[in-house]
Amino acid sequence: MAAPAYKRILLKLSGEALMGNDSYGINRETIERIVAEVKEVVDLGVQVAVVIGGGNIFRGVAPAAAGMDRATADYMGMMATVMNALALQDAMRRVDLVSRVQSALTIEQVAEPYIRGKAIRYLEEGKVVIFGAGTGNPFFTTDTAAALRGMEMNAEIVLKATKVDGVYTDDPKTHPDAMRYKSLTFDEAIMRNLKVMDATALTLCRDQKLPINVFSIFKQGALKRVVMGEDEGTLVSP
């Protein structure tokens, strides 16, 4: 079997990816399938770090948060990502995949505080490291957290797992003739205002020459194909 194209990756999972077809919350069948995809690449010897969003949980309380102070709402969203991280860790435990949760917010009863050196050591030991609470600061998205942690972990690539199998010229749901980009440069993605990641995350990755691949986590085997360097998703690079 060919060797993986990447030895250390940062996987960005949106909270919505955990919902499946539910309106909010965590769909057990969906999270188990995602964990199976992660285990498949870990078994290849790939070191995997994960940054997870919280939109699936926070969506359930969104009406109550209307008009709330932005910083307060962001902290609530960060705590939602920790809940998702714990759910992901539990699903990994059930398939004998060893993982550690590190939180940018101090919640020592349920997660370790984020310590870069410790996280890198866990990766070198073959453990999956799940980063919760984003950057620990309001006004920054989990996309930005993924870019930041990817650089700190010396990841070779950031993989953004979505419901769409790449970046398109237009919304493929409303424009069936939309074309998928096989590859893009960072400058092209920024100038065309393509929805790869938010502008801060995209700029961080561009400045540090950290490539991004946007792919669908709902396509069976897609994560493995990306890791093996096959034509899957959209590659954004310098």
Q: Which residues are annotated as a binding site?
A: 12-15, 54-55, 59, 74, 135-142, 162, 168, 171
Cα Rg, the chain, nearest whole Å: 17
Other beta carbons within 10 Å of 132: 32
Q: Which of 142, 226, 133 is nearest to 182 (CA)?
A: 226
16, with CB counted inside 10 A (0-12, 13-18, 19+), is middle
Residue list, annotated binding site for ATP: 12-15, 55, 59, 162, 168, 171
Of 89, 73, 68, the closest CA to residue 26 belongs to 89
CB within 8 Å of 79: residues ≥ 6 apart:
54, 105, 107, 133
- Both tokens of residue 152? 């700190």
Look at residue 19 and give its three-state secondary structure: coil
Gap between the Cα atoms of 12 and 201, Å rounded:
12
Please give the Cα distance from 112 to 81 (Å, whole number): 14
- Overall size of the chain counted in residues: 238
Nearest C-alpha neighbor of 223 from the set 143, 181, 161? 161
Residues in the annotated binding site for UMP:
54, 74, 135-142
- Amino acid at site 55: G
